[in-house]
Structure 1
């Protein structure tokens, strides 16, 4: 009974996101009538929906971490650079003869270290999140280039390549990684007090600190989770192309992650955490990209559409936008007979 109530409550909360996703999928079906067709070959599923989930996996991982950061009234602009660092570390280690699990562990450790760096700058030193993470956004690409000596470093390790291009039980491994990460973070934030602490810090950092919340530790943990998710995304991208491209891996994906989190209902004013809704935002964004590409419009329109969406959503989330929305949508008490 409790699960039914939770599902009903989630469906009521997710109505705008589900409607947006349905609209984008319908648009794709109009542009490409066979969009929802699935085929089975060589032990795995193929089709546009599977391709959508697979290609959205790196951004989905970034959006999960970004949603937690945004809920604390912060931002993480370094996730793309952390992806490049993680891919470079993994590629260098497997090419030097290290087993792929060791390379993966080292890459994830690098992501955690990057998140720790951001968390210390924000929580301990007190630098504004956008400035603190901008430092690593700029320097991180340089670090990745130093690791790879400024060139695209390829590898042939089948274990590392499978992370980005393999399949299990019919679905691509990146999809399984995304679902596993999402479930782990949802359990962590909703079955423990961590989610409440994150939202409390976003609503009022001073009040949460006076209430006994260790704000510094929570912020550091949140940025470390964001770094870990970025490292996972970097491993997927590196495994997909069987190489580490320090210049282009994760380039501008921080914009996608922020937009997906905001489409999922995250407020840049903090205090609102919805990881499952962030996934809906990612799939909506990826579906929109597919629709633009299938329509024959140049790929550059993606950036224009995303920028316009950010402007509209932020306007609606602003105090003035909220007041205008309340005037246009009277409450039930006002329209009751």
Structure 2
């Protein structure tokens, strides 16, 4: 069977839930710390004394998140890698080499899995320092501004604190800034990182298994609503290793007539156009997070180019609009969680319903877009 990032999507979703729960817990900690004694004349003084308690509570959440997250990712990677290998076994099942591969067992500590786990841990380590800093900076800023705000502006301390909480909920814990200057929410970045690394594990398991039995060519599927990064590789044959760049080679036909091998009858060969190497395609963006493409074994002279998936009336930009709507829904759900009173809670809930209506309208207007409620959720409580 073909292998694709979708093979590990459920694993990524389970790990990402840890980060969503943590982000909700952080919003709750900040809300409660600011709300306690907010009507007291000594509120600012009390908040300065409470800073240490808040730091301790936040660090408890981040330490647990780091431990649980890294452990869950390591387990997910081993599972994804194993699924990739099993996909190769299923794909090669009709051939003798499929039975040979089935007889082999993957070691639980496969080097590929260990390398990916170490890479994920290194990539996400800076997140945990940013979490504590983001919460404490917001707390200090609110305390400093809100202490005298009623005298200067007529805005109540509670209203000023709610504004800051709304901004924190809108922004989320921005754990990562990409090369375009876009600040990612903690949970969104974690989900992207986990999707990327588990997808890589599944694909690595597949191609490692094929390489073990001497298979060196794969073909990329033609997926609907492809992004510009993937479009150049659709339907193309890739080499698992070797030089980058396109080339045409002659190789043995995958199915040789009986008795063809002899001094007088050389093996039948076919010309195969190779668009490049798999590492080259991945470096160029193929199999990015949320990629819909898959890889399957290419048998020279047997495998045909996949059919093109037409999506009239729907574009890649339309799928990105759906992602934006999902982000707005999550933003206002966080704002609801951060609400200090019923009025703020009702306002946030109304915004959630407004964006959910936008999601329904967008899906109804585009035949090839499917709503994914899980991507609109935050934490287990929702």
**What's the TM-score once normalised by structure 1's chain length?**
0.29
Higher helix share: 1
Instruction: Mark the structure with the bigger radius of gyration.
Output: 2
Higher relative contact order (CA 8 A, sep 6+): 1
